[in-house]
Amino acid sequence: MTARLRGLCTALVATALLAGVLCSPAAGETTNRSLERIVVKGMFSAEEGARLQRAFATARQAGVEERDALALVQAGVEGEFDAAQTLRVLSIVAQMALEKLPVEGFIAKVEEGVSKRIPADRVVQVAERRALMFNKAKSILNSLVIQGFPVDDRDELLPDLAAALEAGRTPEQARAILVGAFQSGESMGSTRRMLFP
Amino acid sequence: MLFCEDVELMLQDYLSGYLLPSQREILEAHVRGCGECRTLVAGLTRLDSRLDGLDDVEVPAGLSHSILAALPAQAYGPSPLRRALSWGGIPALAVLLIVAGFLARGRLQLQDRFAARDVEVVFTAPQAASVTIVGDFNGWDPQRTQLVRSSHEGLWRARLKLAPGVYQYSFVLDGSNWVSDPTAKTLLADGFGGENSVIIVDG
């Protein structure tokens, strides 16, 4: 697909999705209609489109904000994701929402890969790794809570800890840094700085 | 060449040591070649060091009384509100104000902790026709945040509003050339074979 055609498709899909969400009070129905338009535009087969609608609805039910799910689909369209790749990222984001993990970092990684024109399969792979880091970060923070450390800012700390793990900090190093920071009453800012190599 | 007005804008940050090394170099290069700016910098540096050298002074006891005594009575007399309040009402009002103050302070501190900060981004690219910044904060969209050229030496700037947190970012020159920030303290592998710069915004 040429860059021009890709741009046109992106614009059409984004417009269709956003218009669908914004123009009607029945947001769920309109989103489905908007997704149907992707199928109409020939981006996916009817069967793939139906699966995409179900995945979208599942993500929403899992707690993913509509704008986040749309951002992900839109990034997938721009990045020429096939149906399986789009379904994969929707399924990951739904799983993250179910586990009460923040999804913004995952979506940002997909957007980053697409913006850098990385092949779709690699984008999905790297974004999936980021989701795993969020899981690891959550486990570390949970274990600290169980040990009695005052992890009051768990939601705030989670993405930063995940990024630090992604950057090469081992879970053991990260845990030791956090324990030290909690024990010495470090501020959130200095804790963040200590986490990054 | 940096303009004198750019130097004036950057001077306070320069004297306070807040400039990035690249900005400091550019400013110092201008100052070396500009008599007016050299005089300005020398004067402010002298003033700064003199102020630093001053001892703390104890406010003399009774100073406020002396000042008030020197003023005409109507300039500081009791306000109508104060006159309206009985002596019994003042302590109650004071307690209310203190409680409200604590509540407001707690709320403000909480808001302040999560409030977006102004972050100035500077990049030097004398040959570039356009510079944008992309990152976790703008969906990595190269169209969204343009830097503005602020000098003939190729200094580009943008002001971002970022909530406290850690952000990965990169610069895009002329729409396609992705470049890390040479002044970033931390660079991370992006997982795609390149690297991102990292900025930590304190809360």
Residue A126: list chain B partners with CB under 8 A.
190-192
Helix (H) or strand (E) segment spanning residue A144? helix A120-146
* CA dist list (Å): B64 to B69, B72, B76, B77: 8, 14, 12, 14
| Closest C-alpha among A160, A71, A82, A163 to residue A124 | A82
List the beta bridge partners of residue B135.
Answer: B169
B108–chain A nearest CA distance, Å: 18
Residue B198: list chain A partners with CB under 8 A.
163, 167, 196
Q: For A137-144, what is the mean pLDDT?
A: 92
Contact A160 B166 (CB under 8 A): yes
A124–chain B nearest CA distance, Å: 11
* CA dist list (Å): B171 to A112, A117, A187, B121: 12, 15, 30, 10
Q: A118 is written with which tokens? A: 């990385």
B1–chain A nearest CA distance, Å: 33
B180 Cβ under 8 Å from any chain A Cβ: no
Burial class (CB in 10 A: 0-12, 13-18, 19+), A36: middle
| Closest C-alpha among B189, B195, B125 to residue B158 | B125
Name the one residue in this structure whose structure tokens are 């081992």: A170
Chain A residue with Cα closest to B164: A189
The separation between CA B188 and the C-alpha centre of its own chain, rounded to angstroms, equals 26
Asked if the model's pLDDT at residue B84 lies above 70, the reply is no
pLDDT confidence of residue B7: 72
Contact B190 A115 (CB under 8 A): no
Please state, in angstroms and rounded to a whole number, the distance separating the CA atoms of residues B131 and B173.
Answer: 5
Asked if the model's pLDDT at residue A133 lies above 60, the reply is yes
Asked if the model's pLDDT at residue B122 lies above 80, the reply is yes
Confidence band of B66 (pLDDT split at 50, 70, 90): confident
A45-78: pLDDT as tens digits: 888 888 888 999 999 999 999 999 999 998 998 8
Chain B residue with Cα closest to A169: B188
B140–chain A nearest CA distance, Å: 5
A151-191: pLDDT as tens digits: 877 888 899 999 999 888 999 999 999 999 988 888 888 88
Residue B196: list chain A partners with CB under 8 A.
112
Do residues B170 and B182 touch, judged by C-beta distance below 8 A? no
CA atoms within 13 A on the CB side of A137: 29
What 3-state DSSP class applies to A161?
helix
What are the strands, taking DSSP E only, across chain B? 117-124, 131-135, 148-149, 155-162, 165-173, 177-179, 186-189, 195-201
Q: Which tops the pLDDT comparison, B113 or A162?
A: A162
Optimal mutation site among B168, B192, B196, B198, interface A, most CBs of chain A within 10 A: B192
Asked if the model's pLDDT at residue A112 lies above 80, the reply is yes
B120 Cβ under 8 Å from any chain A Cβ: no
A43–chain B nearest CA distance, Å: 22
Helix (H) or strand (E) segment spanning residue A3? helix A3-23
pLDDT confidence of residue A189: 83
Q: B154 is written with which tokens? A: 């190729």
The separation between CA B95 and the C-alpha centre of its own chain, rounded to angstroms, equals 36
Contact B202 A189 (CB under 8 A): yes
Do residues A182 and A151 touch, judged by C-beta distance below 8 A? yes
Query: How confident is the prediction for chain B on average, in pLDDT?
Result: 79
pLDDT confidence of residue B46: 81
What 3-state DSSP class applies to B160?
strand
Strands B117-124 and B186-189: unpaired
